[in-house]
């Protein structure tokens, strides 16, 4: 175990010694517990930050996949709703076929 020297005001020194005596502990034990709490909280904070970053990455990937699927569905709907081509005249619709003038054959 290592020793640490800490400079505090006279008022803080007196107050922490009184508090330690009232709680049957020492100033060293109090400071050691506080340091461990700070270190633990920092470690937990870093773990939380890492988890949030991972969740954000997953969310971004899911959103990209959702956009990709929405575009595919839109393309499929567009293809399904496209006018049917006439089998009689390539690149013309059935309406074009029926509305065009017919030629009569003269004998």
pLDDT tens digits for 59-102? Answer: 999 999 999 999 999 888 887 777 665 555 556 565 665 665 55
Q: Is residue 100 part of a domain?
A: no
Q: Is 103 within the bounds of a domain? A: no
**Alpha carbon 59 to chain centroid distance?**
4
Q: Give the domain range for residue 16.
A: 12-79
Distances (CA, A) of 4 to 50, 84, 107: 32, 85, 119
Inside any domain, residue 18: yes
Position 38 in a domain: yes
- 21 domain residue, yes or no: yes
Q: What is the 3-state secondary structure (H, E, C) of the chain?
A: CCCCCCCCCHHHHHHHHHHHHHCCCCHHHHHHHHHHHHHHHHHHHHHHHHHHHHHHHHHHHHHHHHHHHHHHHHHHHHHHHCCCECCCCCCCEHHHHHHCCCCCCCC
How far apart, in whole angstroms, are the C-alpha atoms of residue 19 and residue 8? Answer: 15
pLDDT attached to residue 78:
80
| Cβ 42 vs Cβ 35: under 8 Å | no
Give pLDDT tens digits for 26-69. 999 999 999 999 999 999 999 999 999 999 999 999 999 999 99
> Would 104 be classed as within a structural domain?
no
pLDDT at 81: 73
CB 91 within 8 A of CB 85: yes
Our count of domains for the chain comes to: 1
């Amino acid at each position: 175990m290592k020793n640490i020297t800490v400079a505090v005001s006279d008022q803080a020194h007196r107050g922490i010694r009184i508090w330690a005596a009232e709680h049957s502990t020492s100033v060293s034990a109090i400071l050691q517990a506080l340091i461990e709490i700070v270190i633990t909280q920092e470690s937990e904070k870093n773990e939380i930050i890492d988890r949030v970053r991972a969740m954000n990455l997953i969310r971004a990937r899911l959103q990209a996949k959702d956009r990709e699927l929405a575009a595919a569905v839109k393309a499929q709907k567009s293809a399904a709703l496209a006018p049917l081509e006439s089998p009689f005249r390539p690149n013309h619709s059935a309406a074009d076929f029926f509305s065009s003038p017919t030629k009569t054959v003269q004998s």
